[in-house]
Structures are given as structure tokens and as C-alpha cells.
Amino acid sequence: MNITNELYNVILDRQKEPQEGSYTNYLLDAGTEKIAKKVGEEAVETAIAAAKGSKSDVIAEIADVEYHLLVLMVHMGITLEDVEKELRGRRS
């Protein structure tokens, strides 16, 4: 299993069995608007890091974007397979 699948499953687990003090649960409880804002914030930070040319900062920001996207996906009932299917459809 790759880290994206692993993290997705951790987020699913937090949704099913919330843990006190969990940032993931904070986001899931806050709802779509809060999660979407975090996705946007992290995407902007990624773009800024890229414009500055710092590869390590871009990598860290991409990880933040991916995490927040996965939280959004779980919150909205979107699976990794749903996204994979969309991407595969775009290849043809």
C-alpha cells in the first residue's frame, strides 16, 4: 500500500472513530467550507514556494495540499478510485 492510500485510510478511520485532539477530526467537524479553504490556502502556498524556487518547500507544500485534499475527499465521500477513474478517462 502506498502512503496516499495509507493516509486516506487513516482519515477514514478518524471519521469513523474520532480521536480527541485530532487535527483531522477538527477539519472533518468543521465541514466542507473550512476544508476547502485549507485546500486553497495550501495550494497558494505551493505556488508561492514554487515561484521562490525552493524545491524542498514545494515538496512540503504539496504534501500539505495532498493531505487536505484527502480530508476533503473523505468528507465528501469521494474515493481514491473515483479520482483514478477520472484521471484514466482523461488519458484516452
Backbone angles phi, psi at 69, to 5 degrees: -65, -40
Instruction: List the chain domain ranges.
Output: 3-13+21-91
- Indicate if the alpha-carbon torsion angle 19, 23, 55, 70 is positive or negative: positive
**What pLDDT shows up at residue 92?**
76
**What pLDDT shows up at residue 1?**
65
- Do the Cβ atoms of 12 and 28 come closer than 8 Å? no
pLDDT tens per residue across span 17-43: 999 999 999 999 999 999 999 999 999
* Topology adopted by domain 3-13+21-91: Helix Hairpins (1.10.287)
Q: What is the pTM of this model?
A: 0.94
